């Protein structure tokens, strides 16, 4: 278990925790952190256990691995197994289960699947292997989409024709709307994603206070950042304010990264709808390559089955992603579904709520629930 | 020499003395972090722009242990008058430590340089300890902020000695418990590519083609910088999936 004195500048963290307790005044508050990176930090550093009992965090759909539907993974495996293809992917996608296998198993069967750190690495592989078709499995929110866009611009400029992108990029605002319209969830506010917001800025969140009456505070990824964001949220609620605020001022500007947004507009266009695991189809929530880049679109270059696969019945990733249930309340959590043999995607990625909870929180939940772990030096 | 809970206000009194609330735990935590870094082969770099004798004093405590049988630990002083950022940039390696005794600007003229060093800690891969007094630096300015509440420079200077003596002594206490020095088992890999991750990196050099060589805690990397305004060497940027997605210099003077 981690304690507040292990945070960067623990004295400041202690003060933030104490002030959250005072400002929230014992009133029950439920906040959702939208971003998987925040979920990871919250579990890793035991933030839930140092917060006052009346402040509850629920974990949102912000892990791009966790929201990929099974049918898209099957499509990826199909692409990887086509003759002459080098299939490149970020590491976390390798173990995500499709309906019958995953990319690692496809590699074991003989497919040329390679892990890359950046889409630019995939482009370099294509340039080094002109006689092979290189496909990049593009996933991620607006943080990652600009890297894919830059790579496509470079591919076009250099005339690299044996490179293509299997695009699964998604956008953050539509799922937040979908969650707010979910009837079984009551939230008091949101902790906004830090690095997505370096790209899109804070303006796209203004609908939250305006249309739904919910505050949002964009936060960085240090434990102290998250505590400060929670403090800003409870202050807003105490003062009767409802605004979009920015805790992560060292990186996030209101207008975002204008150049990145322009490039995204040039390379991608919105899909009419895109399927999210557990959330179903959400309008205008996915990106595909624009007409100008159709030659680099793997879905047009190759025959992709595109079959929709229903999620396993036992898996409750959908409820976890919406914050309706906690990971440990899922019927298969920690028994049939573990990081070694995941059934649902929330257990695959280290940013997934289930895997983060399984790795960091499962041993101490009961103890923490029965006797809240005190903030030292109180 | 012992700091009691009453001295530090850690017992909850808030304290009329010079010590910040909770300093006891913060000192222990800083000492554990230093012990782990020394154990893994790190070097401690000591600096104090306004009190050079404190920088020498910290280094000599660690290099030349006053208690028989304690191991000598590598500690080096940044030369007084040197450009603090440039000197440390040239000398530190990932895994090292930087311990600075300084106030914050404007009351301490060296405070601005110290803040710059602390800001670069994550990119250089160093653990940062800032011992000081007076106006506290912004929250999260360093990994460990060991702060005195007093504005009296003489009181502060005397108490600094006490703090870094304890830091040295507690570091050696950690060495007596080898289990404490093991790498943290919870430090498992995170998804650095597909999640919303952004690593702090310092630009070393910029190519004409829109690429840059940057320094991160994991070493040097070549990244794309065409999404941001052309950075200059020394700028801090956030890196995600091989691209700089934001500059951390905007809005800074």
Q: What is the ipTM of this complex?
A: 0.81
Residue B127 touches chain A, beta carbons under 8 Å: no
Percent of chain B with pLDDT over 70: 85
Per-range mean pLDDT, top range of A77-86, A299-308, B11-20, B208-217: A77-86
B144 and B232 inside one domain? no
CA distance B68 to chain A (A): 31
- pLDDT of the residue at A347: 82
**SS3 state of residue B200:** strand
| B105: CATH | 3.40.50.10490
Within a domain: B177? yes
Q: Quick: pLDDT tens for A308-343.
A: 888 777 888 878 877 778 888 888 888 888 888 888
Q: Which two tokens stand for residue A52?
A: 């006052």
Of A6, A63, A118, Cβ closest to residue B195:
A63
pLDDT band with cut points at 50, 70 and 90 for residue B19: low
Evaluated on CA atoms A332, A333, A334, A340, the torsion sign reads positive
Within a domain: B193? no
Within a domain: B15? yes
B219 and B165 inside one domain? no
Residue B141 touches chain A, beta carbons under 8 Å: yes
Mutation target vs A (from B196, B198, B240; most A CBs, 10 A cutoff): B196
pLDDT band with cut points at 50, 70 and 90 for residue A142: very high
- pLDDT of the residue at B190: 47
Give the total residue count for chain A.
378
| Structural domains counted in chain B | 2
| B217: CATH | 2.30.30.140
Lowest mean pLDDT among A110-119, A308-317, B103-112, B149-158: A308-317
Query: Would the CB atoms of B140 and A8 count as touching at under 8 Å?
Result: yes
Q: Which residue of B has its CA nearest to A195?
A: B196
- pLDDT of the residue at A1: 29
- pLDDT of the residue at A361: 66
A16 preceded by a cis bond (ω within 30 of 0): no
Domain's final residue, options B146, B181, B216: B181
Of B25, B196, B238, Cβ closest to residue A5:
B25
Cross-strand partners of A36: none
Q: Quick: pLDDT tens for A166-199.
A: 999 999 999 899 888 877 778 999 999 999 999 9
* Cα gap A38→A42, rounded to integer Å: 6
Q: Which two tokens stand for residue B86?
A: 């440039």
Lowest mean pLDDT among A38-47, B1-10, B175-184: B1-10
Higher pLDDT, A39 or B234: B234
Chain A residues with beta carbon closer than 8 angstroms to that of B251: 249
Q: Quick: pLDDT tens for A289-299.
A: 999 999 999 99
For residues B34 and B44, the answer to whether their CB atoms sit within 8 Å is: yes
In the predicted structure, residue A275 carries a pLDDT above the cut 80 = yes
B126 and B86 inside one domain? yes
Within a domain: B176? yes
Q: Which two tokens stand for residue B166?
A: 């304890």
Query: Would the CB atoms of A37 and B196 count as touching at under 8 Å?
Result: yes
Q: Which residue of B has its CA nearest to A172?
A: B196
Average pLDDT of chain B is: 86
B152 and B215 inside one domain? no
- pLDDT of the residue at A351: 67
Query: Would the CB atoms of A350 and B29 count as touching at under 8 Å?
Result: no
The structure's pTM equals 0.84
Average pLDDT of chain A is: 88
Lowest mean pLDDT among B9-23, B32-46, B189-203: B9-23
Checking DSSP bridges between strand B211-216 and strand B219-224, what pairing results, if any?
antiparallel
Within a domain: B167? yes
Residue B86 touches chain A, beta carbons under 8 Å: no
For residues B108 and B101, the answer to whether their CB atoms sit within 8 Å is: no
Residue B197 touches chain A, beta carbons under 8 Å: yes
In the predicted structure, residue B244 carries a pLDDT above the cut 80 = yes
Within a domain: B53? yes
Size of interface A-B (CB pairs under 8 A): 176
Query: Would the CB atoms of A377 and B25 count as touching at under 8 Å?
Result: yes
Query: Order of strands across the sheet with B97-101?
Result: B75-77, B44-47, B97-101, B127-133, B144-148
* Cα gap A262→A187, rounded to integer Å: 33
- pLDDT of the residue at B67: 84
B13 and B83 inside one domain? yes
Q: Which residue of A has its CA nearest to B247?
A: A251
Chain A residues with beta carbon closer than 8 angstroms to that of B240: 143-144, 147, 195
Q: Which residue of B has its CA nearest to A138?
A: B194
- pLDDT of the residue at A106: 96
pLDDT band with cut points at 50, 70 and 90 for residue B114: very high
- Which residues, including other chains, have CB under 8 Å from residue A257's CB and lie 6 or more apart? A146, A198, A199, A201, B227, B228, B245, B246
B204 and B101 inside one domain? no
Question: What is the enclosing helix (H) or strand (E) of A223?
Answer: helix A223-239
Checking DSSP bridges between strand A268-270 and strand A287-289, what pairing results, if any?
antiparallel
Chain A residues with beta carbon closer than 8 angstroms to that of B143: 8-9
Within a domain: B194? no
Structural domain for B150, as ranges:
5-181
- pLDDT of the residue at A377: 34
Within a domain: B252? no
B105 and B230 inside one domain? no
In the predicted structure, residue A371 carries a pLDDT above the cut 50 = no
* Cα gap B77→B71, rounded to integer Å: 19
* Cα gap B149→B168, rounded to integer Å: 22
Give the residue carrying structure tokens 């292990």.
A6
* Cα gap B53→B209, rounded to integer Å: 47
B221 and B138 inside one domain? no
Query: Would the CB atoms of A150 and B139 count as touching at under 8 Å?
Result: no
For residues A110 and A80, the answer to whether their CB atoms sit within 8 Å is: no
Question: What are φ and ψ of residue A264, in 5° steps?
Answer: -60, -40
Chain A residues with beta carbon closer than 8 angstroms to that of B186: 2, 44, 359-360
Higher pLDDT, B7 or A21: A21
| Mean pLDDT on A242-271 | 95
- Which residues, including other chains, have CB under 8 Å from residue A157's CB and lie 6 or more apart? none
B48 and B95 inside one domain? yes
Of A12, A36, A121, Cβ closest to residue B139:
A12
For residues B88 and B127, the answer to whether their CB atoms sit within 8 Å is: no
Cα separations in angstroms, B186 against A4, A358, A366: 16, 12, 19
* Cα gap A89→A95, rounded to integer Å: 11
Query: Would the CB atoms of A377 and B139 count as touching at under 8 Å?
Result: no
Would you tell me how many other CB atoms lie within 10 Å of the CB of residue A247?
23
**SS3 state of residue B40:** coil
CA distance B245 to chain A (A): 7
| Mean pLDDT on A208-215 | 95
- Which residues, including other chains, have CB under 8 Å from residue B97's CB and lie 6 or more apart? B33, B34, B37, B38, B42, B43, B44, B45, B126, B127, B128, B129
B174 and B206 inside one domain? no
Residue B131 DSSP code: E
Higher pLDDT, B170 or A318: B170
Domain's final residue, options B123, B152, B181: B181
B119 and B224 inside one domain? no
Chain A residues with beta carbon closer than 8 angstroms to that of B141: 9
In the predicted structure, residue B34 carries a pLDDT above the cut 90 = yes
- pLDDT of the residue at B8: 42
Higher pLDDT, A315 or B240: B240
Give the total residue count for chain B.
253
In the predicted structure, residue A2 carries a pLDDT above the cut 90 = no
B123 and B215 inside one domain? no
Higher pLDDT, A332 or A63: A332
Residue B231 DSSP code: P
Mutation target vs B (from A4, A8, A258, A363; most B CBs, 10 A cutoff): A8
Query: Would the CB atoms of A8 and B10 count as touching at under 8 Å?
Result: no
Instruction: Quote the distance between the C-alpha of residue A334 and its chain's center.
Output: 21
Checking DSSP bridges between strand A189-192 and strand A216-218, what pairing results, if any?
parallel
Instruction: Quote the distance between the C-alpha of residue A219 and its chain's center.
Output: 14
Mutation target vs A (from B227, B231, B242, B251; most A CBs, 10 A cutoff): B227
pLDDT band with cut points at 50, 70 and 90 for residue B9: very low
């Amino acid at each position: 278990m981690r304690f507040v004195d292990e945070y960067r500048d623990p004295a400041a963290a202690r003060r933030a925790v104490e002030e959250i307790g005072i400002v929230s005044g014992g009133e029950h508050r439920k906040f959702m952190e939208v971003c998987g990176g925040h979920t990871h930090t919250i579990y890793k550093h035991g933030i839930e256990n140092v917060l006052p009992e009346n402040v509850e965090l629920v974990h949102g759909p912000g892990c791009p691995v966790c929201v990929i539907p099974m049918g898209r993974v099957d499509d990826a495996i199909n692409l990887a197994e086509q003759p002459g293809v080098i299939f490149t992917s970020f590491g976390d996608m390798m173990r995500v289960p499709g309906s019958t296998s995953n990319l690692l198993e496809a590699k074991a069967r003989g497919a040329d699947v390679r892990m890359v750190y950046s889409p630019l690495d995939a482009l370099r592989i294509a340039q080094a292997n002109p006689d092979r078709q290189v496909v990049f499995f593009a996933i991620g929110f607006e943080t990652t989409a600009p890297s894919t866009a830059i790579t496509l611009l470079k591919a076009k400029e250099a005339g690299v024709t044996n490179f293509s992108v299997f695009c699964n990029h998604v956008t953050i605002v539509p799922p937040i709307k979908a969650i707010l319209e979910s009837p079984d969830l009551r939230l008091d506010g949101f902790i906004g994603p830090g690095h997505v917001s370096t790209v899109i800025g804070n303006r796209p969140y203004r609908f939250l206070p305006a249309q739904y009456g919910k505050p949002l505070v964009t936060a960085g990824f240090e434990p102290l950042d998250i505590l400060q964001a929670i403090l800003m949220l409870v202050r807003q609620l105490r003062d009767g304010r409802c605004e979009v605020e920015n805790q992560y001022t060292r990186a996030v500007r209101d207008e975002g990264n204008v150049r990145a947004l322009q490039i995204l507009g040039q390379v991608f266009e919105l899909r009419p709808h895109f399927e999210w695991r557990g959330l179903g189809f959400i309008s205008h929530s996915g990106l595909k390559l624009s007409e100008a880049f159709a030659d680099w679109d793997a879905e047009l270059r190759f025959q992709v089955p595109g079959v929709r696969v229903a999620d396993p019945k036992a898996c409750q990733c959908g409820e976890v992603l919406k914050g309706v249930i906690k990971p440990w309340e899922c019927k298969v959590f920690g028994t049939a579904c573990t990081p070694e043999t995941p059934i649902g995607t929330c257990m695959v990625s280290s940013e997934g709520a289930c895997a983060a909870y399984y790795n960091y929180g499962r041993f101490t939940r009961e103890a923490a629930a029965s006797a809240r772990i005190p903030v030292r030096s109180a | 020499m012992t700091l009691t809970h009453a001295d530090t206000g850690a017992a909850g009194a808030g304290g009329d003395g010079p010590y910040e609330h909770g300093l006891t735990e913060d000192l222990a935590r800083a000492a554990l972090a230093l012990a782990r870094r020394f154990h893994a082969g790190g070097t401690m770099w000591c600096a104090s722009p306004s009190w050079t004798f404190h920088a020498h004093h910290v280094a000599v405590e660690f290099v030349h242990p006053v208690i028989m049988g304690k191991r000598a630990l590598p500690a080096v002083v940044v030369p007084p008058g040197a450009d603090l950022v440039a000197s440390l940039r040239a000398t530190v390696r990932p895994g090292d430590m930087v311990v600075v005794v300084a106030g914050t600007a404007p009351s301490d003229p060296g405070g601005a340089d110290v803040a710059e060093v602390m800001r670069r800690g994550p990119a250089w891969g160093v653990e940062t300890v800032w011992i000081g007094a007076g106006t506290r630096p912004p929250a999260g300015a360093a990994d460990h902020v060991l702060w005195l509440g007093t504005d009296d420079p003489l009181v502060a200077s005397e108490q600094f000695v006490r703090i870094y003596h304890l830091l040295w002594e507690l570091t050696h206490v950690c060495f007596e418990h080898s289990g404490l020095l093991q790498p943290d088992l919870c430090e498992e890999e995170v998804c650095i590519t597909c999640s919303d991750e952004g690593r702090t990196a310092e630009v070393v050099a910029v190519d004409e083609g829109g690429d840059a060589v940057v320094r991160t805690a994991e070493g040097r990397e070549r990244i794309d910088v065409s999404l941001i305004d052309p950075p200059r060497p020394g700028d801090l940027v956030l890196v995600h999936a091989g691209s700089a997605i934001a500059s951390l210099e905007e809005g800074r003077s």
